[in-house]
Amino acid sequence: MLLLHCPLLLLLLPLGSRPQKLPTRDEELFQMQIRDKAFFHDTSVIPDGAEISSYLFRDTPKRYFFVVEEDNTPLAVTVTPCDAPLEWKLSVQELPEEASGEGSGDPEPLEQQKQQITSEEGTELFSYKGNDVEYFVSSSSPSGLYQLDLLSTEKDTHFKVYATTTPESDQPYPELPYDPRIDVTSLGRTTVTLAWKPSPTASLLKQPIQYCIVINKEHNFKSLCAVEAKLSSDDAFMMAPKPGLDFSPFDFAHFGFPADNNSGKERAFLKPSKFGRQTSSKPRVDLHKVCIGNKNIFTVSDLKPDTQYYFDMFAVNTNTNMSTAYVGTFARTKEEAKQKTVELKDGKVTDVFIKRKGAKFLRFAPVSSHQKVTFSVHSCLDAVQIQVRRDGKLLLSQSVEGVRQFQLRGKAKAKYLIRLKGSKKGASMLKILATTRPNKQSFPSLPEDTRIKAFDKLRTCSSVTVAWLGTQERNKFCIYKREVDDNYNEEQKRREQNQCLGPDTRKKSEKVLCKYFHSQNIQKAVTTETIRGLQPGKSYLLDVYVIGHGGHSVKYQSKLVKTRKFC
């Protein structure tokens, strides 16, 4: 049995004809007590109708008191362990006649009152051991001095206690629905959709309720207090109070605990790491809390494929900031779709299609020893990302737009894995060639600038003059024209910019001419051409194709031109 501290005895049993009563649910007194933070500091008194937070050192018991003044009084006591199991016991003993306020005459001496209260064991009403949020509820409790004894045998920990003599009217904790389970309604590789029934506190009593979801990879949580303790575990125990001292729930922030008025706010999930908050160099648990208002369906995204996650839901009364836990659940995300690996043949062009934001894997295993290996990539639409690994070692990681060629050092019996990642804008198309023969070039070489230039001053009612750049390599160039409407715009032109579509897809009537062209002096590698036989005031789309020795072609950027209407 613990001895009462002298400061507490002075509070409970002062010398005088009428001893001071413990805090009760006198509303005026209660509101005064709440406003006066010093009232809760260094005291073992539980006020009626207010949740308190406190701290336990391992194997160091703590006792709290409160008074029920009248018989047949409703009583509810809630104890919330935060991050360790607790042993707690609730008992009651009769107050001395004068202490209850019902006697008359001179008060008993202080030492005699102390002996009366501390020497009696009291009647045990309830006991519990574990880490669940546990309740003692009675519709008719006797008057007396109630004692709440708590002990943590596992580790230093903190906890919350709430006691009230008006449980029917208070209802500070949100009520759970008849089915308090969380349902997993949809499961993907990186997403999980959760649904739950609303709290009657919100739907029937119209009190402000918000829901907070907690996601982690370890286990389910039984209270929001336990979640906050886990998130703050690196700070909380570094600045714990000294043994023997209680402290105010208003001062928790000074000891590294999360302030109660922030418990409903959303914590940032993370980019790039999607979970947790980084406050120290210690490894942090992969844990995230997000509050979503009063919705009762939510999709958790940015999860890892083939990974088990635990999901907990807490209904939080935003007026009282007190919460109730739904029955948690868990789910494993779907496996990543296994990619089919395409085998590349030496010197053969392979067409590849990639969905938006998708990826494709290709494998190249030369049959003979080689000193070098060349990868030629022709991106037909937007830029794509290419990664090349040789026997698991990363050799190349680049973005490719248009035609690019990469030459890597070879190795006997080496195997190459190529990963191609598509564009975020839309689907990607490309052609790729791998070869160990350096002279095997299927794609034509291109200048850095593949635009077609039109000369406005040389424009007539029936002709336009254009120019484009070539290279030092002799290639075949073909130019095509197509009449388009006057409202043809850049967006339509962009959609038709598939550089992999060759002249074989064009109508014969659209062909203007083909010619060979090159220049050893790269500064003079420019050719011009006048397209005749056009109609006055008409718009035309011009395309230039360069065709390599292997027969593969690359299209320059299309050019929209318009003849003069009057000449």
Question: Low-confidence residues of the chain, pLDDT below 70?
Answer: 1-43, 96-121, 233-285, 339, 438, 440-441, 490-496
Q: What is the DSSP letter of 191?
A: -
DSSP per-residue string spanning 343-357: EEPTT--EEEEE-TT
Determine, yes or no, domain membership for 272.
no
- CATH (domain of 365): 2.60.120.680
Do residue 332 and residue 346 come from a single domain?
Answer: no
Determine, yes or no, domain membership for 292.
yes
Enter the pTM of the model: 0.49
Do residue 467 and residue 555 come from a single domain?
Answer: yes
**Closest Cα to residue 298, out of 174, 183, 180?**
183
Determine, yes or no, domain membership for 8.
no
- CATH (domain of 157): 2.60.120.380
| Integer angstrom CA distances of residue 192 from 112, 234, 236, 293, 325 | 65, 29, 32, 18, 20
Do residue 53 and residue 80 come from a single domain?
Answer: yes
Determine, yes or no, domain membership for 103.
no
Determine, yes or no, domain membership for 7.
no
Specify the pLDDT at position 394: 92
Do residue 165 and residue 209 come from a single domain?
Answer: no
Interacting residues of 491 by C-beta distance below 8 A, sequence separation 6+:
none
CB 317 within 8 A of CB 201: yes
Do residue 480 and residue 542 come from a single domain?
Answer: yes
Do residue 317 and residue 188 come from a single domain?
Answer: yes
Boundary residue ending a domain (385, 405, 435): 435
Pairwise CA distance, residues 282 & 231, whole Å: 12
Do residue 180 and residue 328 come from a single domain?
Answer: yes
Six-digit token pair at 159? Answer: 């906890």
**Closest Cα to residue 114, out of 19, 244, 4, 2?**
4
Pairwise CA distance, residues 534 & 256, whole Å: 80
In what helix (H) or strand (E) does residue 9 lie, and over which residues does it extend?
helix 6-12
Determine, yes or no, domain membership for 258.
no
Tell me the CB-side half-sphere exposure of residue 491, using CA atoms within 13 A.
Answer: 1
Do residue 318 and residue 361 come from a single domain?
Answer: no
Determine, yes or no, domain membership for 143.
yes
| Integer angstrom CA distances of residue 178 from 199, 201, 210 | 9, 12, 18
Determine, yes or no, domain membership for 24.
no
Amino acid in the structure at residue 9: L
Specify the pLDDT at position 364: 93
**Closest Cα to residue 102, out of 201, 19, 198?**
19
How many structural domains are present in the chain? 4
Pairwise CA distance, residues 416 & 330, whole Å: 39
Pairwise CA distance, residues 522 & 446, whole Å: 12
Do residue 494 and residue 464 come from a single domain?
Answer: yes
Do residue 412 and residue 462 come from a single domain?
Answer: no
CB 4 within 8 A of CB 118: yes
Interacting residues of 281 by C-beta distance below 8 A, sequence separation 6+:
none
Do residue 407 and residue 464 come from a single domain?
Answer: no
- CATH (domain of 491): 2.60.40.10
Specify the pLDDT at position 32: 45
In what helix (H) or strand (E) does residue 89 lie, and over which residues does it extend?
strand 86-93
Which structural domain range is residue 548 located in?
Answer: 452-562
Do residue 205 and residue 302 come from a single domain?
Answer: yes
